[in-house]
Amino acid sequence: MADLPADRLSMDPPFTYIGLDVFGPWNVVARRTRGGLAHSKRWAVIFTCMAVRAVHIEVIESLDTSCFINALRRFLAIRGPVKQIRSDRGTNFVSASADLKIPSNIDSKSVEKYLADRGCSWVFNPPHASHMGGSWERLIGIARRILDSMFLQVGTSSLTHEVLTTLMAEVVAIINSRPLLPVSTDPSDPVILTPATLLTQKTGVPSVPPADPNVKDLCKQQWRQVQHLAQTFWSKWRRQYLSTLQPRRKWHDTQTNLETGSIVLLRDQQLKRNEWPLGIITQVLPSQDNKVRKAEVKVSRQDGTKVFLRPVTELILLLSPP
């Protein structure tokens, strides 16, 4: 298992480093006709802060690039500028990256220059590597469970775009109010570490005044309350929450790195094992710790030769180069 990405450990403002994905669809009532109701589909884009684990959801009307760009613009207008975006290699994401002229998988010098000019970069995970985006994709399951419980009360027969948007806002509030750590029973530690604590600067329980005797007007000046609450959040986040991310729960054994020229089998869930295609690695892409976790594989098929980018979990080594 690799080290935690630097954006997971950043103490920048919320939604400075984000991961995003699309989930859905849901049928909503588009208009009323003489024969009944005309339905259309809606999807949702979930934006997840990599550091404080807060979420933001935008409803879109289709999966084309223009709808996604509009959702991204709404998100940036509300949450502010973003330094880095992570996502899978979806067609709409790749098209949006090209249309917005945001480079992906570029070298450090280009990143530094681009961040200086525009302040944003886009990093794509390799195809068939959902485990690399687990930090934001797992929140989709939470959102779905909350929505399913809401649909039992509201019903989906008369679901409209406005109702779906309202439900999504309530889903965001519920997810952002979840505790990041087990709730402490210590009466001297009443602040519960939640993403909403930092986003709204509000808690259900008053925070403990700081021990600094020079701060005497904490209750009189609101900006001091906000500053103190933010400092309390980041202090607990750094001392208690980050320690829970350090254990490496799987992939403990060290494997030999794949090399250029290796003969491999390419996993394909739609085919039987004896039908998996045979390929040769044309390029390996090592991580910062010099471990190869993704590679380009050339496969020969009936319609020609194709090159695929795959994680090593989808490759089975048969023969190493001499």
Q: What is the pLDDT of residues 110-136, one digit of tens each?
A: 434 544 455 687 888 888 887 788 888
Instruction: Please provide the distance, in angstroms rounded to a whole number, between the alpha carbons at the two ends of the chain.
Output: 28
Residues, the chain, total?
A: 322
pLDDT tier at 60 (50, 70, 90 boundaries)?
very high
> Which position has the higher pLDDT, 263 or 253?
263
Q: What is the band of 107 on the pLDDT scale with cuts at 50, 70, 90?
A: very low
Tens digit of each residue's pLDDT (9 = 90 or more) over 281-312:
999 988 888 889 889 999 988 788 888 888 88
pLDDT of residue 75: 92
Which pLDDT band holds residue 263 (cuts at 50, 70, 90)? Answer: very high
pLDDT at 13 > cutoff 80: yes
Q: What is the CA radius of gyration of the chain?
A: 23
The structure's pTM equals 0.75
Residue-wise pLDDT for 215-240, tens only, equals: 455 444 555 656 666 777 778 888 88
106: pLDDT strictly greater than 60: no
* Cβ-contact 234, 217 below 8 angstroms: no
CA contacts within 13 A on the Cβ side of 218: 16
Give the CA distances from residue 298 to residues 184, 258, 260, 277, 282, in Å, rounded to whole numbers and listed in that order: 53, 14, 11, 10, 6
Under the banding of pLDDT at 50, 70 and 90, the label for residue 209 is very low
Q: Is 182 helix (H, G, I), strand (E, B) or coil?
A: coil
Q: What percent of the chain has pLDDT over 70?
A: 78
